[in-house]
Structure 1
Amino acid sequence: MKISMIGAGNVAWHLSIAFENHHHQVCEVFSRQQSKAKALTAMLYQAEAKTDLDFSDSKAELFILAVADDAIAEVCSMLVLPENAILAHTSGTKSLEDLQKLIGSFHDLPIRCAVFYPLMTFSKQKKMQLKEVPFCIESDDAEAESQLVRLAQGMSNTVYLVSSQERKVLHVAAVFACNFTNHLMALAKEITNDEDLEFDLLKPLIRETFQKALAAEHPADVQTGPAVRGDKSTINNHLVYLNNRPDLFEIYEIMSESIQQWHA
C-alpha cells in the first residue's frame, strides 16, 4: 500500500517505519516543522519531505493524519487530497463524524474518512513492538475499513473495529491506567528526592505492583496498603507528613477515600 504521513511526531515516526518494515511504501511526510519531516524521511526508503499540504498529485492511497487533536481542523482546512483517497486520523478522542464534517466543509472531492488508532504511548527513543499494540479501526466506508484492518493485521496481533464512543471510553480509561499512574510515580520520585532518598528503592515494588495487577482477574483483587486495610492511624500519620504539601495532601486524601469506598 502507498501511504503518506501528515505529521512527524512520535506516532507518525513509529507507524512510518513499521509500514515500510511490512513492505508498504511511505511516499511523503509533511510537518509544520520541516526539520522533523526531513528527520523522518531520512529513516525511510524513498519518502519525500513535503513543504505544503497539497497532495493532489500524490500516488498515495492512504493519508495518515497523525497530528495533535487541536491541529486537526487547521490541517484539514489546508489539505488537498486526491479523489477517493482514504484519510485516517490517529486520535483517541476525535470522532469519525468530526473528521467527516471537517472534510465536508473544506473539500469538494469525495474523501473516505477513517480512524486508525494505535492504543499505545509512543516515544521516538524507545523501540516499539507493534505486534503487542492494539489497533482500533473505524470507517463507514466498507472498502476503506477492510483495507485498514488488513494494514493493521499485518503489523499487530490485536485489531478491533471500535466505534467513536467506544474509543472515547478506552481513551479515558487509558488516561487513568497510563498518564495518571505515571504522574503518581513522578510525585513519588519528588517525595524521595526531597528527603535525599533513592527512588530506585521503589522500583522493585512498582514492578511487582504492575505485574500483579496485570495478572489478576481484576486489579482491585490485589489492592494493598493502609487504605484497603482501613488503617486510619497510618493514613493520618502520612497526612501529617504531607501537611506542608497541600497538592500531595489532597491527592493522597482523595485516593485513600476512593480505595476505601471501593472496598467498603
Structure 2
Amino acid sequence: MHPINSMLRIGLLGAGRVASQLGPALAAAGHHVVFVWNRTPAAAETLAKRLPGAQVLTTLTPPLPPADAYLLAVPDAAVAPLLASIAWPAGALVAHLAGALPLAVFAAQPGVRGGVFYPLQTFSPGRAIDWPTVPLCIEASDLAAETTLLALAGSLSRHVLRLDSAQRLKLHVAAVFANNFTNHLLGIADALLAEADLPPELLAPLVRETVDKALANPPFAVQTGPAVRRDAPTLAAHTAALAGHPAWQALYVQLTASIQAQL
C-alpha cells in the first residue's frame, strides 16, 4: 500500500454489503467518514456506530457536509437517480463503486467531478475482507479527481489500477464468470450431492485443486473431464441423470459444447 499524506474526508452514501466493509476500512486507514446516508436510516445508524465521528444523514437536502470525496455505495440502478436528486457542492468529487457502470453516468451533472472507485471483490455479511489484496480500479473525469482517488485507493490496497470504462466492463464480466457463475455451479453440485445423501465436503479437495491449478496455469490449457475426452457414454449418462432438472441438464449440455469448442 502507498502512504497517504493526509486524512481525507469521505461522505458515504449507502450502508449495504460494500459500504459496511469499506467504511471501517477507510476509518482504519486514517480517513474520516464524515457522514453515512442510507435510504433505510437504521442501516446507516448501525454502520455509523463503527465509524468514529460519523454522523447519520436522514435526508440529503442541501447543504451536504463538506467532503473531499463522496462515495456512492449503492446499487448500479440507483446511481443515476441519486446523482440527479442531490444538490452537490460545486466541484464536488463524486465516485461510484460499480464495475459495469461507465464514467459517462456523470455527464448529466456538469457541476460534479465524476470518478470510479471499483473494488474487485465479493462482499458478504460475516466475511472479513483483506483490503491490501483487493484490486481497486480507478477512473476519473480530471487529473485532480484521479489523484485523490488514487491516493485513497493506495491507502487501502497494494493493487491499484487505472482502468477506463471499457476495460472495467470486460473485467466485471470476467469477474461474474469467475465468481458468480462458479458459485452457482458449486450450488448445483451441492444440491446434487444432497439428493444422493452425500456430504458436500466430498468435493472440497477437488474444488481446491481445480482453483489452484487454474490460477497457476491458463485455465483452458488444464481443462479435464468427459467433455475434453469426448467421452460420449459418460456425457449421455450424465445428461440422463439430470432429467429431473431440465434447466441444469440444458446447462450441462451447453457447458460441454463450450468446452469442446475450445479444444
Give the TM-score taking structure 2 as reference length.
Answer: 0.94
Distance 1:224 1:79 in 2: 53
Distance 2:70 2:141 in 1: 17
| 1:132/1:158 contact within 8 Å kept | yes
Give deviations 1:191-243, integer Å, cap 9, x for gaps.
Answer: 11112111111111111111111111x11121111111111111111111112
Given candidates 16, 41, 51, the residue that maps to 1:9 is 16
Matched, 1:116 2:123: no
Look up the equivalent residue of 1:47 and give its one-letter code.
Answer: A
Give deviations 1:18-64, integer Å, cap 9, x for gaps.
Answer: 11111100000000001110010011101011101235241211100
| 1:34/1:51 contact within 8 Å kept | yes
Where does 1:96-107 land on structure 2 (aligned, <5 Å)?
96-101=103-108, 103-104=109-110
| 2:80/2:105 contact within 8 Å kept | no
Structure 2 unaligned residues grouped into runs of 5+: 1-7
Give the TM-score taking structure 1 as reference length.
Answer: 0.94
| 1:243/1:249 contact within 8 Å kept | yes
Report what 2:233 is aligned to. Answer: 233
Corresponding residue pairs, total: 256
Matched, 1:27 2:28: no
Matched, 1:86 2:87: no
Matched, 1:43 2:50: yes
| 1:58/1:82 contact within 8 Å kept | no
- The percentage of counterpart residues that share the same residue type is 39
Change (3 A) 1:189 1:59: same
Structure 1 stretches of 4+ moved >3 Å: none
| 2:72/2:95 contact within 8 Å kept | yes
Structure 1 unaligned residues grouped into runs of 5+: 105-109
Distance 2:244 2:19 in 1: 43
Distance 1:100 1:136 in 2: 20
| 1:27/1:47 contact within 8 Å kept | yes
User: Which is worse superposed, 204-213 or 47-56?
Assistant: 47-56
| 2:103/2:165 contact within 8 Å kept | yes
Look up the equivalent residue of 1:166 and give its one-letter code.
Answer: Q
RMSD of aligned alpha carbons: 1.1
Change (3 A) 1:167 1:55: farther
Change (3 A) 1:85 1:250: same
Report what 1:154 is aligned to. Answer: 155
